[in-house]
Amino acid sequence: MSATKNATMNAYSIGDLREAARRYLPRAIFDFFDGGAEDEITLDDNVAAFRRIRLAPHTLVDVSSVHTGTTVLGAPAAMPLAIAPTGAVGFGRHGGDVAIARAAAAAGVPYTLSSTATASIERIADAAPGRLWFQAYILRNKPFLHAWIDRAYAAGYEALVITVDLPVGGKRERDFRNDFRVPFRFTPRNLLDFATRPRWAMSLLAHGMPVMENLQGLEAEARSASAVASSVGRNYDPAFDWDALAALRDRWPRKLIVKGILRPDDAVRAAALGADAIVVSNHGGRQLDGVQASIDALPHVVQAVKGCVPVLLDGGIRRGSDILKARALGAQAVLVGRATLYGVAAAGEEGARRALTILQDEYMRTMQLCGVTRTEAISRDLILGERQGADDGPRSTESTAQARVAVRA
């Protein structure tokens, strides 16, 4: 049995896929995907916050048939989940971006292509027809940014995701300690690190250094992938503001998603500006350390927008029960990034599919154990301590039926 097949068959959780990815990747590459900013307080709290939430399940409900499907951003999805934008995937596994996009299409969920992907807008559209969203970082080079948007429109992407929480890059100290910098340079430390993972190293030698295809031409002098990545860092636009976001709203005629909001007042302003959805996100703990966990911010944002726009959640999703918890607290869907990154690094497309299968199976099982048969039936009364706020969300059919049980004389 191949190592890739073995990694998939022996993975029963996202944690198992993470461990398989750690064994396959050099430390520098794994830490780049896995790590966060500074002391990684927010990175850890994104996961820990879900673990602090306790469920209050219904019992004696017929859950022999459960439907996980729902509507995400106005179109059907097999579960309340979309793939978050993740950059530089090809450094972990050759063809990784396409592999994740294909896994998403097969699973019936939307896929978001990152600006810093190692596959182009057009290549993803050709290789992985499905529900496609494109995430744009805001660059100083506005003609280049506008060309991205025009290309995504021409390729049929249904939504544009604008990331608003990255005026400058975060300080990720794992990368410094591993000599993982851009522009990349070989050092005795990282050469030794790469030598400890011969399967990964042989793949790199066979296929060559990955190229961030959407960034080609950003700077004429940037030839290597690491130089291109460095040019992106120099081209972030720290002056991007609400007026600039409004201009992008006017330029893009399809769905606009604003990602990276934690404050209720910012969420209200984005909705008023014309955003079609808001993603509550702290960038996976990779930028500003010490901000609140995404799931802790979610209920306040949901309450503030009052149903005017869908609210999605990004950050900390490691279990199917996390999807149900987010949905119960008002998220229309969640975005997952590291889960499928671990999967694709461990076993390519098969690993990415395995990650999504694990999450959907766990989500269905959690629904059954909580006594709900449809995603739309998930409400706040499934969260311990939230029953007083249960009327803020949709009541489950099952709980209503239970309330009508009559005691016969």
- Cβ atoms 249, 283 nearer than 8 A: no
Q: Distances in Å between the alpha carbon of 198 and those of 18, 25, 26, 191, 288?
A: 19, 9, 9, 11, 34
pLDDT for position 6: 73
Catalytic residue (one of 67, 94, 146, 283):
283
Structure tokens at 77: 């999805």
Q: Is residue 408 part of a domain?
A: no
Spell out the SS3 assignment of the chain.
CCHHHHHHHCCCCHHHHHHHHHHHCCHHHHHHHHCCCCCCHHHHHHHHHHHHCCECCCCCCCCCCCECCEEECCEEECCCEEECCCCCHHHCCCCHHHHHHHHHHHHCCCEEECCCCCCCHHHHHHHCCCCEEEEECCECCHHHHHHHHHHHHHCCCCEEEEECCCCCCCCCHHHHHCCCCCCCCCCHHHHHHHHCCHHHHHHHHHHCCCCCHHHCCCCCCCCCHHHHHHHHHHHECCCCCHHHHHHHHHHCCCEEEEEEECCHHHHHHHHHHCCCEEEECCHHHCCCCCCCCHHHHHHHHHHHHCCCCCEEEECCCCCHHHHHHHHHCCCCEEEECHHHHHHHHHHHHHHHHHHHHHHHHHHHHHHHHHCCCEHHHCCHHHECCCHHHHHHCCCCHHHHHHHCCCCCC
Identity at 313, one-letter amino acid code: L
Q: Is residue 139 part of a domain?
A: yes
- Local confidence pLDDT in tens for the 409 residues of the chain: 566 667 677 899 999 999 999 999 999 999 999 999 999 999 999 999 999 999 999 999 999 999 999 999 999 999 999 999 999 999 999 999 999 999 999 999 999 999 999 999 999 999 998 999 999 999 989 999 999 999 999 999 999 999 999 888 889 999 888 887 765 677 888 888 888 899 999 998 899 888 888 888 876 544 444 454 444 556 789 999 999 999 999 999 999 999 999 999 999 999 999 999 999 999 999 999 999 999 999 999 999 999 999 999 999 999 999 999 999 999 999 999 999 999 999 999 999 999 999 999 999 999 999 999 999 999 999 999 875 443 444 334 333 333 333 323 3
Structure tokens at 236: 């972030």
Contacts of 272 (CB under 8 A, 6+ apart): none
CB atoms within 10 A of CB 306: 10
- Cβ atoms 381, 368 nearer than 8 A: no
- Cβ atoms 355, 30 nearer than 8 A: no
What end-to-end distance do the CA atoms of the chain give, in Å?
A: 65
Say how far apart CA 372 and CA 394 lie, in whole Å: 12
Say how far apart CA 173 and CA 168 lie, in whole Å: 15
Identity at 399, one-letter amino acid code: S
Instruction: Judge residue 278's burial from the number of C-beta atoms within 10 Å of its C-beta, 0-12 exposed, 13-18 middle, 19 or more buried.
Output: buried
Q: Is residue 402 part of a domain?
A: no
- Alpha-carbon dihedral of residues 379, 382, 383, 387, nearest 10 degrees? 80
Say how far apart CA 408 and CA 299 lie, in whole Å: 40
Torsion angles phi and psi, residue 407, rounded to 5? -90, 120
Identity at 25, one-letter amino acid code: L
pLDDT for position 192: 86
Q: Is residue 391 part of a domain?
A: no
Q: Is residue 384 part of a domain?
A: no
Q: Is residue 409 part of a domain?
A: no
Answer left, alpha or beta for residue 219, where phi above 0 means left and psi between -120 and 50 means alpha: beta
Structure tokens at 151: 């290309």
Statement: the pTM of the whole predicted model exceeds 0.75:
yes
Structural domain including 266 reads: 3-378
Q: What is the CATH number of the domain that holds 199?
A: 3.20.20.70
Q: Is residue 394 part of a domain?
A: no
Q: Is residue 145 part of a domain?
A: yes
Identity at 310, one-letter amino acid code: P
Give the chain's domain count.
1
- Cβ atoms 141, 218 nearer than 8 A: yes
Mark whether 283 is an active-site residue. Answer: yes
